[in-house]
Structure formats: C-alpha cells, structure tokens
Structure 1
Amino acid sequence: MKRTFTFTLLYFFLIFTSNTFSQNQSNAFSDRIFEGKGYQPLANLKWKFKTEGKIFSSPIAKNSIVYIGSEDGFLYAIEEKSGDLKWKFKTNGAIHSSPGIFENTIYFGSFDGNYYAINALNGKLLWKFKTGGEHWLGEIGMWGMKPETQYMEDLWDFYLSSPVVYKNGKSALVLLGSSDGNVYSLDAKTGALKWKFKTNGPVHGTPVIDKNKMYIGGWDATLYALNIESGKEIWHFATGTQMGFTGIQSSVAISDGTVYFGAREPFFFALDAETGKPIWKYNAENSWILSSAVIKDNTVYVGTSDTYALLALDAKTGAEKYQFKANGYVYTSPAIAGNTIYFGDFTGNFFSLDLLSDGKKSNFISTDNRKEFAASILKNDLLDFGYAAQNEDLAVYDNNKKVMDQFYKLGPIVSSPFIHNNTIYFGSADGYLYAYNLEKQKNL
C-alpha cells in the first residue's frame, strides 16, 4: 500500500546494517559469499547457545570457534562442534557490534563507549579504545511524537559499527564508525589513533574497503569515500533527509567499479566507485532498505523493511528481476553459498532460497518463540504494526515501544548469517545463537 507520512504508518518501519566483499576486510560481513554447490536448504538443528540478552550482533567463525556479541554485555566464544562455551568476555554495555577477526585478535565495540581487541584464543584483553561515547540515535520529541518534551531513542537503531581490519604490507589498521560522529583508524596491534574523520551525525554503519578507499555511511544521510591511509575525503554522496526517511545504516557492496547501498530514504543506489556519481536507483515503495546487499551473477540481492521482500535486481540497470516475500521486515544481510541464499526476517523465520528458481523454491525454519507467539501477535502470519498496537495511539512514543516488545517475543532475526563447515550460524532477539546443518548438496 502506498503510504503518506503519519505517525502510525511511519512506525511500520525498521532497521539493520551489514557489509560486503573485499579482500582486505576482516569481519563478520567481509564476504557474504561462502563455499557451496547446488541448492542446500537448512537441515537439522545442530545446537543452540543461550545468552542473557537479545542478539543483534552477527556471528563469525574461525579455528573451530564461533564468536558473537549479546545485549547482555558479553562477547562469547563457542565451540563450533559442540556449542559449548569456550570463554566469554564482559563489557559494561550491550554489544550490538559484530566481531571482526584479524590473525588471532577479535575486534568489536560496546555501548560502554569502548572498542576492544581481544585474544581470540583465550579471551584476554589486548587493548581498548575509548570513543566519544556510544549510544542509540535519539532526540526530544522524535518525528513529532508525544509527549513532545520526552527524549526518545530510535527503536530501530539496533547496531553499532563493526570494526574492519585493513592490512597493507607490514601494517594493519582497524577502521570503525562511532556514535560520536567520527570514523576512526587505529593501529591494529596497539589501538593507537592513526586518524579520524568527522561526519555530521552518529556513524553506526560498518566500513567497506576496496582498493585505496573505504566507504561508510551514517545518520547524516551521507555516504563517504575516504582515503584509507590518510582519512581524507575523496567524495561523498548525500541521500534524502525527509522526516522519518533519513540515514544510512547499511554498508555498501562493491562490484565491477560500482558501489551499491540502501538507505532510509526509500531507495537502493548504484554509484560510480571513482566519482560517487549515481548510475541508477531503485524505488523501494516507501520501504527502508537497511539490509546490506550481496552480488552474484550480475544480480543484486537485498532485503526491504515494509514490503517484507528479498529483492533480486539487475546489477547493471537496477531493473527488478523478482522479489521473494517474507513474513516481516528483512534486515539481515543475506549470505550466499552455491545456489542458495539465506536470510531471516523480523517474525523469527529464517529462509533458504534457491537462486535458480526465480524465488519459487525455498524452505524455512522458525524460532521456538515464533511458534509459540505467532498466533497471538501476527495477523494472518504477517507482521502488522497497527494490528499489534491493538488500537493504541501510535502518535505516543511509549505505545510504539509496547508494540516492539510484542514483536521481540517472536525471536526476530536481524543478525546476519555466517556459513562455515557446512553449518550456518545466526543470532536472534530471543537470545540464542543458532547452528543449523545444511542439507547435502543438490542440483550439482
């Protein structure tokens, strides 16, 4: 349905951030294309690991260990085979940043205002870097909601920036954004500041590196291309700033000299990587695009919010090839292995879709919470903000919080999947990290 700006309809929106492929990156989003052949849907549950908070962080696996952060303030290291805890590291704030790995070091950020470097083998602190403070986006009377004097956090600003490591010769840099409005470059070994770049708003997006540039967007609705070594701006591209449709939370994908990304302005953009000039843009029908794209075989795959879709777009023209409908907001950044793309939605469903079927062949699993609460929260098995509000006035901020609390009972999946050793890992707002085996390869 076409929407105009009202409080009720505006709050039918939601978010997420993620990343893309570049050979110099090292984090949970550094390559969303994994090894695999044919169509491999999800098979049986291998194990699930319970934390004491919602999981918005995305997992990464290396050396038989899976790493993930939780809103309970811990970074967890979990044995890949058994799902048993190897170690955990406590911070003084929620961890909505996804971990990055370089050599034997884990990098991540916390709402306590620090970015950490941890020994991946034993969980011991190597160094930490204090930013100007990490926080949810917020303002007094956000979007004109009531009461107009109340400070309101953006209910869909789920994530902090996830660190990315850039190695050049013998040196390595950790690149990250911060709620203080800066993009930072730190020495990967010591945490010493190399440079910082000031934007005009909090930066919760994750950097992407390609050649001599890093790309990052933030709440000032601007995508920046910076020189990696110096932090100097090469170009910037401004998206729209209409109320409720402002900000970049996704990360870019890069292919064949083109930069792809979505924004809260309801468009998906393709820019020239050298100049920042627009090539095409896709109209998302008043739906935020907060999922980060993945590209394969000249097709861009990306999730949408209110249209509940995984889009398949022609990489050269932006023409829509098809869209696959989920049951709610799609904020996860998809992962591809072989001919299969994997992603979750905000109702607690996790999908595997055959890329050779034009959206017609798929399967899914549901969180236990979704199975328990879907009948009472969803309308015809679909997310519906107005239905869940039960006639409450959505011009009132606290009523929106109540609806979100209802949705969280479903175990929404906004954590992006990671595939390793024929197992797929993803987190859920129910507090679990899930490990599912993949079926044996088909359609070879």
Structure 2
Amino acid sequence: MKKPSVLILLLLNFFFINSALSQKNNPKIINAFSNPIYDGKGYQPLGDLKWKHKTEGKIFASPLVKNGVVYIGSEDGFLYALDEKSGETKWKFKTDGAIHSSLSTFENILYFGSFDGNYYAINTENGKLIWKFKTGGEHWLGANGIDGMKPDTQYMDDLWDFYLSSPVVYEKGRSVVVLFGSSDGNVYSVDAKTGALKWKFKTNGPIHGTPVIDQDKVYIGGWDATLYALNIETGKELWNFPTGTKMGFKGIQSSVAVSDGKVYFGARDPFFFALDAKTGKLIWKYDAEKSWILSSAVIKNNTVYVGTSDSYALLALDAKTGAEKYKFKTNGYIYTSPAIAGNTIYFGDFTGNFFSLDLLSNGKKTNFISTDNRKQFASSTLKNDLLDFGYTGQNEDLSLYENNKKVMDQFYQLGSIVSSPFINNNTIFFGSADGYLYAYNLEKGK
C-alpha cells in the first residue's frame, strides 16, 4: 500500500473568499480559492452546536454561504441548499455521481462538478439547471496495483484522492468565465453564463486541484506532479514547476496561495514550496518529514499556516524564509484547508476533531469539538487517541488493497473532517465523512 502512515487529501477542498478589486474595469475574481481570512475580533473559540444536517453520503466538499443559504455537495449525489439559521432544506439538486467539488457563485448561479462527468451551473434560488459542461470523464486517480498493493493485476482507486477540482469565476469587463480542472487532464475555461468552451490546456495527468487566479495568471497543479502558471485570457503556459515523482510521493492535490510576489503550495513530494510568481523559480522549500501536504495554505502577518498528513501538524512557517515558527499537533491527518477569523485559525483532522487555535499563542491556546461518531468509536479505532493505520489494521494483511479499504472505512466511521470551513454571521460551517454538515456558533472575541 501507499505507506500506511502517508495519508493525504487535497483540496482541496476548498474554501472560498471574495477578492474583488475596486476599479470598475479591473478583473474580478469571485470566490476564488485564496487566503480564507474573515473579519473577526480577538480569539473566538468554538461555541455550541447551532444545528447539523444529515445527508446520505460522506461530505468531502466544502460549504458556501450566500444570502442566508448554505450550499453543500454530498457523496450521495445531491447538492443541498439549506437555511442558514435552521439547517432546514430549501431545495436539493440531483446529479448522477458523488459531489466532491466545492462551489463557486456568480450573480444567481452556482457552479460545481460531479463524478458523473459534468460541471454544472444551477440557479441559486430554485436549484434549476442553467447549463452543464461535459468533460472527458471524472474519476478517482487509479492504477493496477497502485503503490505496490496487491493483487497487482487489479485496478484500484487511490484511497486518498478525495476531491474533484472546484470552479473559480473570473470577470473582466463583459467577459465572465469559469475555470476548473478535470480528471481528463485538462484545465477548462468556459463562459459563465452559457457553458461554451473558451479554451482548454492539456496536462499529463488528472487534475483534482482547484485553480487560483492572481492578476493575469492561473495557477493549478495535478497528478502529473507539476504546478502550471497559465495566461488567464488564452490558457497559454507561462511556466511550470515539477515536484517529486517517487512511488507514494507524487502529485499535487492542494491549491496555491499567492502573496507578496510568491506562490505557496504543498505536494505529496513531500515538501511545501515557495516560488517566484513571475518565473516559477524556487525560493525555498520546507521538508515535511514524509508527510503529504494536501491542505491549502493561508497566510497572515508573514506566517504561512498549512496542515500535514503523517506528522498530524498545523505548521506555522515564516513566509519569507520557510523557517518553522511552531507546529500544533492534533490527533490525525490534517487535510482541511484552514480558515482565519481575527486572531483565530480553524481546521479539522481525520479523527473527527475540529479545532480553533489562537494565532497569538504560538499554538498554546485552543479548544475543539468532536463528532458524535468520534466519541462513540475512538476507543476501538484509535491508539492512545491517535490515528495509527498499522494499529487499526493490525489484524489484516495491509499489502492487500481490500484490507486498506477496510481500515479507511473504520477511519471514516469516526466522522473524518476533510471539508474546509466557511465562516458567516459568527457561525462556522464544515462537513464530515459521517454525512453531516455542521454549524457551530463562535464565541465572542476574547
């Protein structure tokens, strides 16, 4: 198997923030995956549960809140529109595949992808289809005998490839486009209102990361282990940066963060990188100690915050040098992309714990909540309350793929959190592999 201790996740999922520019004719990037920083005061710990809503599948995607409605996709194939205050269903939209893509929005349109091979545009008010764009097919990364697992003649999905690419909307003048990656290896730019293809760019592997737009560039990486910078108008490649390709340590699932002329991202490599945004040249890299980095980074006050897999850590790195300021240890893999409000950073781990951490405490001041499933199954699944692949699978032959799937199912039973949080109206929203979307109140700033 792929190193029982080397689990990982992307994206990505993802977490969104408006980054509209002030001048009329300047481009507007709407709900781009960027530094997820919200207004907030002081340290705001997690408060009481406001509500939770049960779907019929795991939730890997991240929520989006707009105009009093929370939108979330589930592995059950539905996109849900829920009342922000109560969690009650307003409407739901059915696709023919699991929804592991997070959402973006423009005017009254929602955009997302499904494993049925379509990217959708639907009406925010009633969930009616506006258009859909057919890709060459969406699927988990897979191969025969992936990462040395047996039997080597069996096709196997990568057990850690949780996400599909999430769309990003880009508006310039009268032109509005939606950009996303695909399992067919292409980056697509399509008309936001009609779904008509504008351009596409072909890479050498599936793309499940989410594009990030900064100025005139699109940054995106994929399973060919290469980060690309493309021209936003034409899709022409400007530069690329290859990462490592060793067995079990290949691929980019995270999205980048762009700040002060630098592009920051992590990979299965296992390193976290800082590149020059203009040239793609390496500035520094951080050795993650055989931990994949699938979490997408957030940057505040010259500090980069990002999660790791096997070291179970939220890292705080100096943005200029890559020097480690501190690391905050959790109970399992951190695949969520963190969100910041005021002096608080929020993120979940794979054991079903969700944390708030005071950024001014150097990792010392924190609180957390646990899913109900974690409380129920932790003692039988975890080793000393810590995730341990070998311990959970100790009675199984872990060279066999099916036994690795069994261990993953036991982990999921805890309510693993790989969905990234969204904050609105002093409430934080996130999904879980237990099928619930959670809404927790935040305490007043301290």
TM interval, shorter chain, is over 0.9
Does residue 17 of structure 1 match 2:44? no
Change (3 A) 1:351 1:232: same
Name the counterpart of 2:437: 433
Structure 2 distance, partners of 1:37, 1:102, is 29
Which ranges of structure 2 fall in alignment gaps of 5 or more residues? 21-27
- TM-score using structure 1 length: 0.97
Alpha-carbon contact 2:35-2:297 (below 8 Å) kept: no
Alpha-carbon contact 1:75-1:89 (below 8 Å) kept: yes
Q: Quick one: which amino acid aligns to residue 27 of structure 1?
A: N
Alpha-carbon contact 1:12-1:385 (below 8 Å) kept: no
Specify which of 201, 206, 212 is matched with residue 197 of structure 1.
201
Where 1:374 maps in the other structure, the secondary structure is: helix
Specify which of 353, 358, 361 is matched with residue 357 of structure 1.
361
Specify which of 94, 97, 103 is matched with residue 99 of structure 1.
103
Does residue 270 of structure 1 match 2:264? no
**CA deviation vs aligned residue, 1:362-401 (integer Å, no higher than 9, x gap):** 0000000000000000000000000000231111111100
Cα deviation for residue 10 of structure 1 reads 4.6
Cα deviation for residue 306 of structure 1 reads 0.3
Name the counterpart of 1:165: 169
> Between Structure 1 and Structure 2, how many residues are aligned?
436
Name the counterpart of 1:342: 346
Question: Once structures 1 and 2 are overlaid, which stretch shifts more, 30-39 or 382-391?
Answer: 30-39
Name the counterpart of 1:3: none
Change (3 A) 1:376 1:97: same
Name the counterpart of 1:4: none
Name the counterpart of 2:157: 153
Structure 2 distance, partners of 1:315, 1:353, is 19
Structure 2 distance, partners of 1:252, 1:29, is 8
Does residue 35 of structure 1 match 2:35? no
Where 1:25 maps in the other structure, the secondary structure is: strand
Cα deviation for residue 9 of structure 1 reads 3.4
Structure 2 distance, partners of 1:185, 1:317, is 35
Where 2:315 maps in the other structure, the secondary structure is: strand
Does residue 116 of structure 1 match 2:120? yes
Cα deviation for residue 170 of structure 1 reads 1.3
Cα deviation for residue 84 of structure 1 reads 0.6
Cα deviation for residue 154 of structure 1 reads 0.1
Alpha-carbon contact 1:59-1:427 (below 8 Å) kept: yes
Alpha-carbon contact 1:207-1:216 (below 8 Å) kept: yes
Name the counterpart of 1:419: 423
**CA deviation vs aligned residue, 1:303-331 (integer Å, no higher than 9, x gap):** 00000000000000000000000100000
Structure 1 distance, partners of 2:225, 2:316, is 24
Specify which of 78, 81, 98 is matched with residue 77 of structure 1.
81
**CA deviation vs aligned residue, 1:271-315 (integer Å, no higher than 9, x gap):** 000000000000000000000000000000000000000000000
Does residue 132 of structure 1 match 2:136? yes
Name the counterpart of 1:181: 185
**CA deviation vs aligned residue, 1:49-107 (integer Å, no higher than 9, x gap):** 11000000000101000100000000000000111101100000000000111111100
Structure 2 distance, partners of 1:375, 1:10, is 20
Structure 1 distance, partners of 2:276, 2:6, is 32
Name the counterpart of 2:53: 49
Structure 1 distance, partners of 2:326, 2:74, is 35
Specify which of 232, 239, 249 is matched with residue 236 of structure 2.
232
Name the counterpart of 1:243: 247
Where 1:9 maps in the other structure, the secondary structure is: coil
Structure 1 distance, partners of 2:204, 2:4, is 24
Q: Quick one: which amino acid aligns to residue 314 of structure 1?
A: D
Does residue 86 of structure 1 match 2:80? no
Alpha-carbon contact 1:426-1:433 (below 8 Å) kept: yes
Matches within 5 A, 1:313-332: 313-332=317-336
State the Cα RMSD in Å: 1.1
Percent sequence identity over matched residues? 78
Name the counterpart of 1:333: 337
Specify which of 376, 384, 387 is matched with residue 380 of structure 1.
384
Specify which of 195, 201, 211 is matched with residue 215 of structure 2.
211
Alpha-carbon contact 1:74-1:89 (below 8 Å) kept: yes
Alpha-carbon contact 2:32-2:213 (below 8 Å) kept: no
Where 2:268 maps in the other structure, the secondary structure is: coil
Structure 1 distance, partners of 2:3, 2:154, is 21
